[in-house]
Amino acid sequence: MFSLALFIGLYSYGVFFLGIIGWLTRPDIFLFTLIWLILLIIYILKIDFKPARPAGGFQINNLKLDSLSRLFLLLIFLQLLINLIGALGPELGFDALWYHLTLPKLWLSEGFLKFYPGPINKYSVMPMLTELLYIPAVALGSAVWAKLIHYSFGILTLFVTYRLSRKFLTVRYSLLAVLIMSSNLVFSWQQATAYIDLARTFFESLALLLFLENKFYKSAVSLGLAACTKLLALGSLPIYWILLWYQKRSVKYAIYYLLITVILISPWLLRSYLATGNPVYPFFSPMLDETSISLNPLDIWRLFISSSDPVNPIHLIVLPLVFPQFLRLKLKLRLVSVYCLLSLLVWWLTPRTGGGRFILPYLPAFSVLTAIIIFELRDKFIRNFLIYLSLILSIISISYRFAANTKYLPVIFGLQSRQDFLSKNLNFSFGDYTDTDNYLTAILHPSDKIAVLGINNLFYIPIAHITDDVSGADYLLIRYTDSDFAPDSSWMLLHENPLTHTRLYRHP
């Protein structure tokens, strides 16, 4: 699993350096991807596949599963199938249309990794390992490929969750841990988007797995890749420092762990510093006003109960049972418990603009710990109650996500056009845009430039035509409900779209 993570990281860094030297073109991307795939296939063919030991891997095919384990497995596959429906539909997610997909599209049109000043593209110099994976997907002309990449990270996360569980649990309870993880609504929602949080979750959960295997330096590499995916992953560094001290009573390992993680992310920090003078831009700059931290302890309760993208409440139900059993647990199990507690503290100290997404990277550990506590319970009635409650919550999650994803079925099966789907499902009053009547697409020529004001999510606009210079633009597209800019008399009104709340002007 670590080798796969390393290959993913190497691919992203390959695209990164292509973008730095100005070779970010479709032919260069496809050639590099082909070379990477050949090397990956060669590596896989050289692997000596041996039967996994009972405590490792995702090998369940030779095991006789009891009826409950088969039910767990069935619900997991059903959840993944429902999530796949969402992944196969057009992208609707706000952040994906804002920058996760738009920046790769912009960079591809520019041919290099450009920094875009201003509030809309303020994240264009942040570490973006996963967005670089989306560039070949965007080059193929569809957001669905990017969504499938993110969906795949969800599957990889479940594999890591199983491997974590098998260090402590039987197959049945390991599958229970995977079921609990997949039943988190925030996990299922993320699997149907082209966000990046599941990529970070994969790398962070792998870092924990490697740490528990005493592969500390590989764990640091994995955490470094998580930080390259999302800078907030650096918040996990203090967790591992504490765990290293708890286990080794040595500062040396903590220093090495820090150095490896920082080295992995340093090219991104250097790029940001050279472009803005700030290695962690837009943090500590006027561009980022979402830095308020709430220290209200009730936020932890709301995370599990009333979050907009909810976390499985089974974690909260089982949490009080951790403390009386803590001292009876073995060292590795105590490390998982401490990891979960510290990760909750890190989340609590983080600006919570992302809802349940920001706790998602730690949910594999929470799911494993929840399954461990259920397994360790001596009261058979309570243990069975929690197992069946997990089943009920899984069925609720599957039902909820199926209801949410049914809107994609007509467009997936060709019964509805993509444009009609977007016209009916995008939120035009909250920053989204698409050319619903195809007027803009019809009049734009290859050499035309268009300035856009009041529109936050630009992914569905013909990117190659966009310019930041209003005075040098041929066309001006304004969302009149969100922009105070009033064009002067030199701009001629061509078209108004009441659905998208936009007006299109032309410079005579």
Rounded to an integer, what distance in angstroms lies between the CA atom of residue 50 and that of residue 56?
Answer: 12
The answer on 249 and 361 residing in a single domain is yes
Q: Are 246 and 216 spatial neighbours (Cβ–Cβ below 8 Å)? A: no
pLDDT for 322 equals 84
Rounded to an integer, what distance in angstroms lies between the CA atom of residue 53 and that of residue 79?
Answer: 28
Q: Torsion over CA of 196, 200, 206 and 210, rounded to 10 degrees?
A: 150
Q: Where is the domain boundary, 375, 406, 437?
A: 406
For residue 388, the one-letter residue type is Y
Between 305 and 42, the more confident residue is: 42
pLDDT for 293 equals 66
Q: Is the pLDDT of residue 492 over 70?
A: yes
CA of residue 154 relative to chain centroid, distance:
9
Give this prediction's pTM. 0.92
For residue 12, with 0-12 CB atoms within 10 Å meaning exposed, 13-18 middle and 19 or more buried, which class applies? buried
% the chain with pLDDT above 90: 65
The answer on 70 and 29 residing in a single domain is yes
In a domain, 417, yes or no: no
Q: Containing domain of residue 234, as a range?
A: 2-406
pLDDT in tens, 151-181: 999 999 999 999 999 999 999 999 999 999 9
What does the pLDDT average to over 200-226? 96
Q: Where is the domain boundary, 378, 406, 434?
A: 406
Between 325 and 372, the more confident residue is: 372
Q: Which of the four pLDDT bands, split at 50, 70 and 90, describes residue 482? A: low
Highest mean pLDDT, choosing among 249-258, 290-299, 319-328? 249-258
In a domain, 220, yes or no: yes
Query: Which range (88-97, 186-195, 431-440) has the least confidence?
Result: 431-440
The answer on 392 and 303 residing in a single domain is yes
Q: Which of the four pLDDT bands, split at 50, 70 and 90, describes residue 88? A: very high
The answer on 298 and 257 residing in a single domain is yes
What does the pLDDT average to over 459-475? 82
pLDDT for 10 equals 96
In a domain, 414, yes or no: no
Q: Are 26 and 138 spatial neighbours (Cβ–Cβ below 8 Å)? A: no
pLDDT for 326 equals 74
Rounded to an integer, what distance in angstroms lies between the CA atom of residue 134 and that of residue 466?
Answer: 20
pLDDT for 351 equals 72
Q: Which of the four pLDDT bands, split at 50, 70 and 90, describes residue 61? A: low
Q: Are 51 and 171 spatial neighbours (Cβ–Cβ below 8 Å)? A: no
The answer on 249 and 151 residing in a single domain is yes
The answer on 370 and 459 residing in a single domain is no
Residue from 386, 405, 404, 403 nearest 179 by CA: 386
In a domain, 440, yes or no: yes
- CA angle in degrees (0–180, nearest 5) for 381-386-387: 100
The answer on 136 and 71 residing in a single domain is yes
Rounded to an integer, what distance in angstroms lies between the CA atom of residue 41 and that of residue 35?
Answer: 10
Rounded to an integer, what distance in angstroms lies between the CA atom of residue 124 and that of residue 411?
Answer: 32
In a domain, 457, yes or no: yes
Q: Which of the four pLDDT bands, split at 50, 70 and 90, describes residue 136? A: very high
pLDDT for 354 equals 61
% the chain with pLDDT above 70: 94
Rounded to an integer, what distance in angstroms lies between the CA atom of residue 333 and that of residue 45?
Answer: 35
pLDDT in tens, 433-445: 999 988 988 888 8
Q: Are 150 and 198 spatial neighbours (Cβ–Cβ below 8 Å)? A: yes
Q: Which of the four pLDDT bands, split at 50, 70 and 90, describes residue 495? A: very high
Rounded to an integer, what distance in angstroms lies between the CA atom of residue 445 and that of residue 452?
Answer: 16
CA of residue 345 relative to chain centroid, distance:
21
pLDDT for 212 equals 93
Q: Is the pLDDT of residue 182 over 90?
A: yes
Between 198 and 295, the more confident residue is: 198
pLDDT for 391 equals 96
Between 462 and 87, the more confident residue is: 87
Q: How many CB atoms neighbour CB 438 within 10 A?
A: 10
pLDDT in tens, 105-123: 999 988 999 998 888 888 9
The answer on 138 and 198 residing in a single domain is yes
Between 378 and 85, the more confident residue is: 85
pLDDT for 50 equals 59
In a domain, 415, yes or no: no
Quick one: angle between helices 216-229 and 2-20, nearest 10? 40
In a domain, 411, yes or no: no
Q: Is the pLDDT of residue 486 over 90?
A: no
Q: Are 355 and 309 spatial neighbours (Cβ–Cβ below 8 Å)? A: yes
Residue from 158, 200, 163, 199 nearest 182 by CA: 158
Provide the number of structural domains found in the chain.
2
- The whole-chain average pLDDT of the chain stands at 89
Q: Is the pLDDT of residue 51 over 70?
A: no
pLDDT for 289 equals 65
Q: Is the pLDDT of residue 468 over 80?
A: no
DSSP-assigned beta bridge partners for residue 504: 477, 495
Question: Which run of H or of E encompasses 203?
Answer: helix 197-212
Residue from 233, 214, 231, 213 nearest 223 by CA: 233
The answer on 442 and 398 residing in a single domain is no
The answer on 376 and 442 residing in a single domain is no
Residue from 100, 104, 107, 99 nearest 138 by CA: 104
Highest mean pLDDT, choosing among 98-107, 111-120, 244-253, 348-357? 98-107
Rounded to an integer, what distance in angstroms lies between the CA atom of residue 211 and that of residue 54?
Answer: 19
Question: Which run of H or of E encompasses 94?
Answer: helix 94-95
pLDDT for 48 equals 64
The answer on 364 and 432 residing in a single domain is no
The answer on 12 and 49 residing in a single domain is yes
pLDDT in tens, 9-46: 999 999 999 999 999 999 999 999 999 999 999 988 88
In a domain, 486, yes or no: yes
Place of tokens 């009104």: 493
Q: Which of the four pLDDT bands, split at 50, 70 and 90, describes residue 135? A: very high
Q: Which of the four pLDDT bands, split at 50, 70 and 90, describes residue 466? A: confident
pLDDT in tens, 219-238: 999 999 999 999 999 999 99
Q: Where is the domain boundary, 406, 435, 470?
A: 406
pLDDT for 127 equals 96
What does the pLDDT average to over 275-281? 92
